[in-house]
Structure 1
C-alpha cells in the first residue's frame, strides 16, 4: 500500500548524482547533446572532388556551421563563410561530359562551370524557373508557370513548347457582368499602381503567347499540375495532376503560446482521409497534343484485398483503385520511357513502359503484397524508389522484394526478360550507376544485418567488391570523380566520425574528425552484446543485451522498445536513440539487465519481418517482447516478477499493449508519446498496416490499446507532450478517461506543455527520465 502511494505521488527526485554505482546521472545524460562533443553531418563533395564540406559545431553554438577539409591538407578543418555555403554543391542537371551544370537559385537559371568553379546567370524571367535540363550543349529546357521552354544559347532565343493553363476553355470565353466590369474599370481608373500591374501582367501573357510554337492549349480545369519531367531531347513532357481536397484536419491546442492565449495548431487528418487521385499526362510536342495515361489495363487494378474475406456480410464493389506515379524516366534517345505506378492502398506496384506515341502502358513487372509494398529502394505512397535506364537504352533497372528481400533487377525491354543482379538474405540500399555507366555502387547488409558496407559491381551483375571494412555502419559519399570515398562511420559505442578512403577495397581509411568531448570519453561506454533468441513461432529476433556486474545485479530487467515500428536499433552502429543508449548504461550500472529488441515490423530483415504486424499491431511485435523477457529469465537469472518495459511513440504503444495484455510478464512500464487508438493516427502510415478503420475494424480493435485498458495490473507511467502534432495529446486524454472509468489506480500521467513528439528541451528530457528511473527503482528495482 505504501509503495502504491509513493508511486502515485510521483514527485521529482532531487538528483540522481548520489548513486555511487555509476558515474552517470539522468541529469548528465539528458543535457544538451553538445556535451558529448561535435560530430559531422550533411557531408558533401566539391564539384572538383578536392574538398569535403560538412556541418560541424566545435564552438558549441546554437546550431551547426559549415566546415571544409581539403584533400591536400586533411589535418586542417576550417569553417566556411555563409556566402560560400550558399554556393556549395547546388542541385541541378549535368551535361554529358559533366563539365557544366544547370541549376536554379531564387527562381533564376544559372550555369555552373565545374572546372572553373564559377556560376553565371543565364536567365531571369521575372517568374520562377524550375527543373532545368540540358537538351544539348547549346539548348536548355526548363519549366516556368506549368509550361516547357527551350532556350537556345547560340541564338539567344526562348521558345515556349507547351501551353498548359488553369481553368477551362469556357473560362476564357466568359465575360464579366456589366456590374462587375464597371467595378473593375472604376477601380483601375482610380488606382494607378493596380492598373500598371494589370497592364504588365497582360503584356507578359501576350509575350508568352508570341513565344508559343502552336495554338494548342491544354486546360487543367480544377486540377493542379506538378512533378514535370522533361525528356532527353525535349520532345516530350510528362506532368501529374491532382484535384485539391479538403480533409478534416485536427486541432492541437497550444496552451503556452507567447501571446498568453491558447492558440490552435492545425495538424494532420486521421486515417481514412484519402489523398486525392493523381493523374499522369504525356505532352507530345511534335504531335501538339496531350495524352492522359489510362491505368485501367493494369493487371489486378480492380482486385479486392484479401482482408475483405473476413467480412462476408458486407457487399464489396470491385472498382479501379486510385494510383500514384513516380517520376517518368526517359531513355537517352527518347525511344522509351518507364514509370513506377503504385495503388494508393499500397498492395500493388507496377513498373511499366510508357508508349511515347499514344501514352499507352506495357507492364514489365507487377509486385503484389496482401500486406503492403515497401522496402529499401521501392518507394512509397508518394513515389520515389530506384528506377532508370542503363546506357544501352534497352535495360530498365529497379528494386523489388519479390524474393523477400529488396534486391536490384534489370528488365530487357527488347525481349521482355528480367534479371536479378543481387541475391541473398540481405537488403540493397541506394544503388547508383558509375559515371561511365559500367558499374554499380551500392550499400548492403550482406555481411551482417547489423552492418552496412559499400560495394562496386559490374553493371550486368557478377561479383560485388566490398569497398569498406570497418565493422559498424559505413555511410559513403562518393566523390564526383569516384576516386575517393568520404565515409561517415560509427560503431555501437562511438558516434559518427568522418573518414577518407580511396575507392579501393585494400586502401586504408583515414580518420579526419575526432569530435568526442573529454567528458564523454571519460565514461567507459559499453558495447552491447548483439544476440538472438527464439520467439514462440521459431523466429530469431536480434537484440542488444546489456549485462550488469554480478556484484550489483538486482535480478531485474528493463526491456526497451524502439519507436517508428519500421526502424532498426539492434545493430553495430551508433544509435539514433543515443539518450536511451546512455540511459541503458546507467541502468546497467545500477544492476539492471537491459534488452533492446528488433521486434517484428522492424527494418533491416526483409519483407516477412516487415509485414509480420499486418492487421495486428500488438501481436507478434508484442509477443517478441514477451519471448525476450522469457529469454532473460531462462538464461540470465532475471526474476520473472521484476521485469519492466518502456519506449516512445511506437515503443510507447507496445508498452501499453504489454501492460494491458501481458500483466504477468511486465510489472511496470513507461509509455512515452504513445498511440492509444490507431483510428486517430495518420493515413500514410496506418493504412498500410491496418487498412482503413471503417473498412477493416477488426484490425483496429485488436491493435489499439484503449480497447484493452481493463487489463492493467502493474505500475504505469504515461508521458506526453501537449503540442505533439504527430501523436496527438488527445490520445492519452482519451486513454486517461478510460482508465478513470475503469477505476484503475497504479497509473500516472506526466504532461509537457511546450513539447511536441520529439522533445527539444533538456529540462523535459531530464524530468521524463527521472520519472522513468523512479518508476523502475520503486517497483522492479527493490
Structure 2
C-alpha cells in the first residue's frame, strides 16, 4: 500500500513537472494571439512625468497593478519613497502647464476652466476666477503686477494687489453698425424727417444730450472691434500695455467636408461622422492686427514689403515657363505677381520690453520668416528667411512658429533652422541682423530650453548616432556640448525646477520605457525608479534588433532594423516592414511606438523569417534631404529604398529573392500598395493596412506640403497614387481597413476595390473592421488582422512541403 502511494505521488510529481515545463514553454513561445492582447500584459510604462513646484518630488502616471486606468505616483528627487498619490492630494496639485514670473516664485495656470495664482514657496494657490464661463491662457503682465487671461474671446487683466478685473479688449461678432454718411438714401430720409417734424428734432436733441452726459460719466472702455464671423486667436498684451496684438482666422464657407458613416452604433442607425476637407479644398486664411490702446485704433500688419513674399514656388514657375513657351506672342500676358497668403505668429517680446519679433509662414509652406515688429507702425523688418522648394519642417520648426526665444542680451533671438541641412540652433541680432550658428554637424537638435540663470541651453540631440537621443547642456553663446545622459537608447528628460536633478523616461530597443532620476552632472549615475514589466513579458528573450546601414541605388545611406532567425535558412524567406506617418523614425535604439509590430517581428524571426524595418526617404532623424526626398513623388525614393533593402537581404543575408513579402500601415500601407503594383517581381506578397490609395483624397495639411495641390500639380498626384497602378498587381495582396477611419477614409479602399474588380484581379482580399478608426483599439481586431498577415506570408513565402 505504501509503495502504491509512493508510486502515485511520484507519478503526480512527474505529471506536475511535465505540466510546469509545458506551461513554461507556452509562456516563452510567441503567438499572434498572445502578442495582440491588451498591452497591459506587457506592463504599463510610466508616463506624463512632471516635477513638483518645489523640485522635491517627481510625479508620473503609472499602472503597475494592471487596473483599468493609470494612477498618479510620486517619488523623491533621490529616487526614494515611491508611492501612489491619493485622490485628495492629486486634486490639490496645481496644473502642470502654466506661466511663471521671472523669479519663478509664482505661477499662473488654468484648472477646470478657472484661473489660479500659485505661490511656490508656501505651496498655496489663490483662485483668481470662479465662473461658469471658461477662462484660459493665463500669463503675467510685463511688470508682473497683473494676471492676464482670455474669456469669451476677450482679454482681461486681474490686478494682484487690488483684486480688480479689467476688460482689455471688446471683440464682437458681426459687422459694425452703419454710421451716418454710409447710406445716401437713408440719410436723405432722416434729413427729411428732421426738416418736416418738430417733435423729431426735439427728441433727437434730447437723445444726443443724454448720450453726451452718459459718455462723460462713463469709465474708459476698450474699443469695440467687430470681427464679422472670423475667429479671434493669439491675443497678446504688449509689455507697456499699450499694444495688443491678435490674429483673425477666416473659416472657408464653401469647403466640402467628407463624411464617414458609422455602421455599428448604440442607436442601431447608421450615423454620419463629419471629418475633414480633402487636399486642395478651401482652407483657413489668417490676418494679424495691432490694437493701439493709446490711439484707440486697430490696424493690420501686412507682409507686402517682406522679401520673398511674391516669390512663387519653383514648380509653378516651371509650369508658367512651359505655358509661355507654347503660347503665341499675342496670347502671352505678363501676370502681376500676388503676395502669397501667410500666417503670422507671436509676437515674442524681449524681457526688457523693447523689442518684438514674429514668425511668419507662407500658406504653401515654402517659406518661414523671422521678423522684427514695430507695433506702432506695423512695420516688419526681415531677420531671417528660410526657403525650401519642397517644404519647411524639421525638429524645433514644425508647421507653426517653432521653438523661439530671447537671448540674455535682449538684442538677439534664438531659433531653429535647417539651413545647413540639419535642424540646428541659431541666433540673430534684431538690430544688426547678424546671424550665428550655435550648433552644427550631421545631427539634429530638438526640445530646447534655456537655464534659469540664462547661462546655458539644454536640449536633446542625436549626435552620437541617428538612432540615439541624449540630453545636452551647452553655454548659451555656443561651445562645448556636454552630454549628460549615457545609456544607449532614448532619453525623455524633465529638468527639476532648481535644475539640480533630471527625471528621465528611458528605453532601449528591447526594453520598454522606465523612469529614472539622476543628478544634473556629467557622468552621474541614473537610478531606476520603476519596474513595469510583467514576468510573462520578461520570460521571452526579446531580440535586440541590429541597426544596420545599406547603400541605396543613388548612393544615399539608408538605416534599418534587422531581425534574424536563430538559425537562418539558406535562401530563406524575408519580410520588409514599412513604418507609417512618413515623417517618423523607427530604425532606432529605443522602444518603438510600433511595439506590437516589434513583437510580431520577433515572432516572424522565430518562424524562420528575416525581417527588415527601413527608415526610408521621408523619415525623421536624418536631416532635410532625407525628409524632403519624397517631394512631388511619394512612391519614388521611399519605395526604391525598400527595393534596395530587399536586394540587400538577398546579397548579404541569404534571402531567396522570390520569397520576400512587405507590409505596413497608413503610409506603410501606401508603400505596400505601390510595391505590389509597381515592383511586382520584387515582392511576392504584401499586406496593406489602413492605406492611402489616392493622395487627392487625403488631408490638406500633410499632403499639400509634399505634392502641392491636385489642381496645380496633378502630375505629382498621378505619379504618387497607387490607384493609378493597380493593373500591375501580380503577387498576393491583403488589404485591411477600419470602416470608421476618420484619417484615411474607408472610401479610399472602396475605390481601390472597385478598381481591382474592374481590372479582373483575383489574387487579393479585403478584410474590414466595422468598429475601428485609423489606429485600432480592440485586441480582437489586432489579432484578426495579424493572423491574416501571418497566413498571407506562410502561404506565399514559405516553401511548399
Distance 2:285 2:217 in 1: 34
1:64 is matched with: 70
Does residue 714 (structure 1) correspond to residue 724 (structure 2)? The answer is no
Does residue 775 (structure 1) correspond to residue 798 (structure 2)? The answer is no
Q: Pick which of 316-325 and 700-709 moved more.
A: 316-325
Does residue 277 (structure 1) correspond to residue 296 (structure 2)? The answer is no
2:358 is matched with: 339
Does residue 532 (structure 1) correspond to residue 515 (structure 2)? The answer is no
Q: CA deviation at 1:275?
A: 2.0
Does residue 78 (structure 1) correspond to residue 49 (structure 2)? The answer is no
CA 1:745–1:399 in 2, change beyond 3 Å: closer, same or farther? Answer: same
Task: Give the alignment partner of residue 297 of structure 1, picking from 289, 301, 305.
Answer: 305
Q: CA deviation at 1:66?
A: 1.5
Q: CA deviation at 1:208?
A: 14
Task: Give the alignment partner of residue 507 of structure 1, picking from 499, 502, 524.
Answer: 524
1:151-300 paired onto structure 2 within 5 Å: 151-170=158-177, 213-214=220-221, 216-246=223-253, 247-300=255-308
Distance 2:796 2:756 in 1: 20
1:456-605 paired onto structure 2 within 5 Å: 456-550=473-567, 555-605=572-622
Q: CA deviation at 1:766?
A: 0.5
TM-score normalised to structure 2 length = 0.88
CA 1:273–1:550 in 2, change beyond 3 Å: closer, same or farther? Answer: same
Q: Is the Cα contact below 8 Å between 1:328 and 1:338 reproduced in 2?
A: yes
Q: Deviations over 1:134-190 (max 9, x none)?
A: 233433333333433333333343333333333232169999xxxxxxxxxxxxxxx
1:42 is matched with: 48
Q: CA deviation at 1:651?
A: 0.3
1:143-154 paired onto structure 2 within 5 Å: 143-154=150-161
Q: Is the Cα contact below 8 Å between 2:72 and 2:90 reproduced in 1?
A: no
1:328 partner SS: strand
Task: Give the alignment partner of residue 608 of structure 1, picking from 622, 625, 632.
Answer: 625
1:182 is matched with: none
Q: Is the Cα contact below 8 Å between 2:148 and 2:156 reproduced in 1?
A: yes
Distance 2:780 2:131 in 1: 50
CA RMSD between the two structures = 2.4
- Structure 1, unmatched stretches of 5+, are 1-16, 176-206
Q: CA deviation at 1:121?
A: 1.5
Distance 2:303 2:725 in 1: 43
Distance 1:573 1:697 in 2: 39
2:557 partner SS: coil
1:613 partner SS: coil
Distance 2:155 2:85 in 1: 40
CA 1:221–1:256 in 2, change beyond 3 Å: closer, same or farther? Answer: closer
Q: Deviations over 1:418-444 (max 9, x none)?
A: 010000010000110111111100000
Does residue 363 (structure 1) correspond to residue 382 (structure 2)? The answer is yes
CA 1:286–1:438 in 2, change beyond 3 Å: closer, same or farther? Answer: farther
Q: Is the Cα contact below 8 Å between 1:161 and 1:212 reproduced in 2?
A: no
CA 1:659–1:124 in 2, change beyond 3 Å: closer, same or farther? Answer: same
Does residue 689 (structure 1) correspond to residue 701 (structure 2)? The answer is no
Q: CA deviation at 1:19?
A: 11
1:601-640 paired onto structure 2 within 5 Å: 601-640=618-657
1:350 is matched with: 369
Q: CA deviation at 1:599?
A: 0.3
Q: CA deviation at 1:224?
A: 2.1
1:411 is matched with: 428
1:313 is matched with: 323
Does residue 103 (structure 1) correspond to residue 92 (structure 2)? The answer is no
Q: Deviations over 1:547-597 (max 9, x none)?
A: 112265661110000000000000000000000000000110111110000
Q: Is the Cα contact below 8 Å between 1:375 and 1:606 reproduced in 2?
A: yes
CA 1:18–1:459 in 2, change beyond 3 Å: closer, same or farther? Answer: closer
1:138 is matched with: 145
1:30 is matched with: 36
Q: Pick which of 52-61 and 580-589 moved more.
A: 52-61
Q: Is the Cα contact below 8 Å between 1:160 and 1:211 reproduced in 2?
A: no
Task: Give the alignment partner of residue 59 of structure 2, picking from 53, 62, 65.
Answer: 53
Distance 1:589 1:22 in 2: 11
Q: Is the Cα contact below 8 Å between 2:560 and 2:613 reproduced in 1?
A: yes
Distance 1:394 1:447 in 2: 33
Q: Is the Cα contact below 8 Å between 2:427 and 2:438 reproduced in 1?
A: yes
Q: Pick which of 317-326 and 655-664 moved more.
A: 317-326
CA 1:361–1:279 in 2, change beyond 3 Å: closer, same or farther? Answer: same
2:781 partner SS: helix
Q: Is the Cα contact below 8 Å between 2:95 and 2:110 reproduced in 1?
A: no
1:382-401 paired onto structure 2 within 5 Å: 383-401=400-418
Q: CA deviation at 1:101?
A: 1.2
1:189 is matched with: none
Computing the radius of gyration over CA atoms, which structure comes out larger, 1 or 2? 2
Q: Is the Cα contact below 8 Å between 2:577 and 2:662 reproduced in 1?
A: yes
Q: Is the Cα contact below 8 Å between 2:695 and 2:703 reproduced in 1?
A: yes
Q: Is the Cα contact below 8 Å between 1:558 and 1:643 reproduced in 2?
A: yes
1:4 is matched with: none
Distance 1:771 1:396 in 2: 54
- Structure 2, unmatched stretches of 5+, are 1-22, 184-213, 325-332
Q: Is the Cα contact below 8 Å between 2:79 and 2:527 reproduced in 1?
A: no
Distance 1:425 1:757 in 2: 34
2:346 is matched with: 327
